[in-house]
Chains A and B, each alone.
Chain A
């Protein structure tokens, strides 16, 4: 009964959002059924479609988990976007500097790397860097809240702007190949690149960028579940989220938990870099994130801040993201921004219906 109720309200919210979205589509002059068919119908038909949908779900699982861990501690982390930007750049930096990366500058080969680590060590180091960089950027608003009481929402939003500008600066002046018109770093060393799923699954085309990062995302769902509900640390974190005053009487320091939660949250957001940098583009690319950090909020809310729910919600939003391009091409007037609108409306409905689900 409880599980049914847990599922019923998110579904109601999604349905209501689609109704409102449908009204917008009609107002614009398109057929809502056809639009929704394009939006959803291209996600799991073939190996190609499935691969792409799971690829798009990967960053959403990470950011969904990131937002959920913060939520469980009573914090809203709107900074996942900045955290994953910092992480992606740092990962690319390590992948170049320790990956034996050779770069062609105006026709001449240059060695940009300091060391050439073997693949196992290098990938390990890159993964650690992704987590550490994200965690660092997440810890800042945590510390600011714990020390000064300044609101994490404003600080994380400000830090998003700072992160994107900072990373763009370092890309432009340190890791961009001179003469490259695109704001992106050089390619990371071959040894840093992680395998794609297409190597193991017959029938999946090589160009599908779904990598083993997806498996890591599933693993993280399990680990976050164990952390939150089966460990003392997770219990303390949730206790602060439920009632900080009571937690403090129970000997738990809310300030410490706030810093811990934001650090873990940032680290999870940073993991987006693993799939995007090590498994897909093999470089940091300015503006690579399609709002993954913000979508993470919708994913966490729709998934009721539970890893299993987040996995399903991430798949759902990945389906919409996959359908975006088909909506753009196949419908007459509706643009792909419809997905962003749906995402916002879903958040509003989930938040508005929350009260009923608690009864």
Chain B
């Protein structure tokens, strides 16, 4: 134990936590806009995948991670629009449709990548100099962006008329409507914002943390971001801490491999380490959910009285 807790190891763990939290922060903040406006966003996983795939392809083709990053966000917005049309205009079940969007983003990238790279599932490896930069080889630019987004989102949500309307629409759409707010339009914009942010998180995964897109590479991070959002009671600063917590579980999982030995002298089986973030998500949700209150109109489609 003592030979493990060296300052270097702790430093590695801290930066590893930040890196693990980064995609979650993007996605959870995105989900926050959508859910505060009343739309459950299980599609986060799919939106992240859309961003990850697009960013990897565009970055590889144009050899520019910034264009790739923005392209990822743009495609995230488009996919979010599809989701929004289904759940807002056609009042489709939000959970079912969100899951279908995530399913779609498992298959569609594979169809496209097998056409352009002849490899179903993954894209071409991007050279290191064309990835999103990391400072001192440790701190990713995207992480700084993610952290900076937290106060920005807080400001937008609590200090601007737009944020006030979003919250009103999620709590009491009838009253908001009566006060002259365009409920439908606001929900569309909230869902599209969530697509842009979640896709940014996904893009960081493929062109920052990794150097290519692989099938289903988000590995449930979209759902974990959703758990973080619930844990944080749908508020920006707690979202940051919840994501850091989940980032820490992931950091533990990656950095503990091969470090601890069982009494028998064998390594702790890798499968148990892989399970850590998922098991902790379940435990944390069960322990804290009673304390959180969802936006009142979450999950209910809005139809104007006529």
Listed in ascending order, the chain A residues whose CB lies under 8 Å from chain B are: 24, 28-29, 76, 78, 144, 147-151, 153-155, 157-159, 161-162, 165-166, 168-169, 172-173, 294, 297, 301, 333-341, 343-345, 347-348, 351-355
A sample of 20 more A-B contacts (CB under 8 A), given A161-B220, A335-B120, A340-B106, is A144-B285, A147-B286, A150-B285, A151-B285, A154-B223, A154-B227, A158-B227, A165-B275, A165-B278, A166-B275, A172-B271, A335-B111, A336-B120, A337-B114, A337-B120, A341-B108, A344-B106, A347-B96, A347-B100, A351-B90
B269 contact set on A, CB distance < 8 A: 169, 172-173
B181 contact set on A, CB distance < 8 A: none
Q: Given contacts A165-B271, A172-B271, are A340 and B107 in contact (CB under 8 A)?
A: yes
* Nearest CB in chain A to that of B42: its residue: A153
Count, A-B residue pairs, CB within 8 A = 147
Interface positions, chain B 55-105, Cβ under 8 Å from A, are 82, 86, 90-93, 95-97, 99-101, 103-104
Once the chains are docked, how many angstroms separate the CA of A338 from the CA of B110? Answer: 8
B90 contact set on A, CB distance < 8 A: 351-353, 355
A301 contact set on B, CB distance < 8 A: 96
Nearest CB on B from A207, distance (A) = 26
Q: How many of chain B's residues touch chain A, expressed as a range?
A: 35 or more
Once the chains are docked, how many angstroms separate the CA of A172 from the CA of B272? Answer: 12
B127 within 8 Å of A by Cβ? no
* Nearest CB in chain A to that of B97: its residue: A351
Please tell me if the beta carbons of B278 and A24 are within 8 angstroms of each other in the complex: no
Interface positions, chain B 238-291, Cβ under 8 Å from A, are 269, 271-272, 274-275, 278-279, 281-282, 285-287, 289-290
Once the chains are docked, how many angstroms separate the CA of A334 from the CA of B112? Answer: 9
**Chain B 15-43 per-residue mask, 1 if CB under 8 angstroms from chain A, else 0:** 00000000000000000000000000010
A149 contact set on B, CB distance < 8 A: 289-290
Once the chains are docked, how many angstroms separate the CA of A169 from the CA of B272? Answer: 8
Please tell me if the beta carbons of B278 and A355 are within 8 angstroms of each other in the complex: no
Please tell me if the beta carbons of B281 and A337 are within 8 angstroms of each other in the complex: no
Once the chains are docked, how many angstroms separate the CA of A155 from the CA of B279? Answer: 9
Going nearest first, the 4 A-B pairs with the smallest beta carbon separation are A340-B107, A344-B104, A337-B110, A351-B92
Contact of A335 among B97, B114, B290 (CB under 8 A): B114
Q: Given contacts A337-B111, A338-B107, are A347 and B275 in contact (CB under 8 A)?
A: no
B159 contact set on A, CB distance < 8 A: none
Once the chains are docked, how many angstroms separate the CA of A24 from the CA of B96? Answer: 23
B115 within 8 Å of A by Cβ? yes
Listed in ascending order, the chain B residues whose CB lies under 8 Å from chain A are: 42, 82, 86, 90-93, 95-97, 99-101, 103-104, 106-108, 110-112, 114-115, 120, 219-220, 223, 226-227, 230, 269, 271-272, 274-275, 278-279, 281-282, 285-287, 289-290
Please tell me if the beta carbons of B287 and A351 are within 8 angstroms of each other in the complex: no
Please tell me if the beta carbons of B226 and A344 are within 8 angstroms of each other in the complex: no
Please tell me if the beta carbons of B86 and A352 are within 8 angstroms of each other in the complex: yes
Please tell me if the beta carbons of A337 and B278 are within 8 angstroms of each other in the complex: no
* Nearest CB in chain B to that of A348: its residue: B100
Nearest CB on B from A26, distance (A) = 12
Once the chains are docked, how many angstroms separate the CA of A334 from the CA of B114? Answer: 8
* Nearest CB in chain A to that of B292: its residue: A149
Please tell me if the beta carbons of B103 and A347 are within 8 angstroms of each other in the complex: yes
* Nearest CB in chain A to that of B272: its residue: A169
Please tell me if the beta carbons of B92 and A354 are within 8 angstroms of each other in the complex: yes
A169 contact set on B, CB distance < 8 A: 269, 271-272
Please tell me if the beta carbons of A297 and B107 are within 8 angstroms of each other in the complex: no
A335 contact set on B, CB distance < 8 A: 110-111, 114-115, 120
Once the chains are docked, how many angstroms separate the CA of A162 from the CA of B224? Answer: 13
Please tell me if the beta carbons of B272 and A344 are within 8 angstroms of each other in the complex: no
Please tell me if the beta carbons of B278 and A161 are within 8 angstroms of each other in the complex: yes
Once the chains are docked, how many angstroms separate the CA of A161 from the CA of B97? Answer: 21
Once the chains are docked, how many angstroms separate the CA of A111 from the CA of B230? Answer: 51
Q: Given contacts A158-B220, A161-B220, A337-B107, are A153 and B272 in contact (CB under 8 A)?
A: no
Please tell me if the beta carbons of A78 and B99 are within 8 angstroms of each other in the complex: yes
Please tell me if the beta carbons of B282 and A159 are within 8 angstroms of each other in the complex: yes
Once the chains are docked, how many angstroms separate the CA of A166 from the CA of B269? Answer: 10
| Interface CB pairs A-B, < 8 A, 11 | A28-B112, A78-B99, A144-B285, A151-B285, A159-B282, A162-B282, A172-B271, A334-B115, A335-B114, A348-B101, A351-B93
Please tell me if the beta carbons of A158 and B99 are within 8 angstroms of each other in the complex: no
- Most chain A beta carbons < 10 A, residue from B272, B278, B289: B278
* Nearest CB in chain A to that of B286: its residue: A148
Contact of B223 among A28, A148, A158, A341 (CB under 8 A): A158
Please tell me if the beta carbons of B286 and A150 are within 8 angstroms of each other in the complex: yes
Nearest CB on A from B43, distance (A) = 10
Please tell me if the beta carbons of B286 and A144 are within 8 angstroms of each other in the complex: yes
B271 contact set on A, CB distance < 8 A: 165-166, 168-169, 172
Once the chains are docked, how many angstroms separate the CA of A347 from the CA of B46? Answer: 14
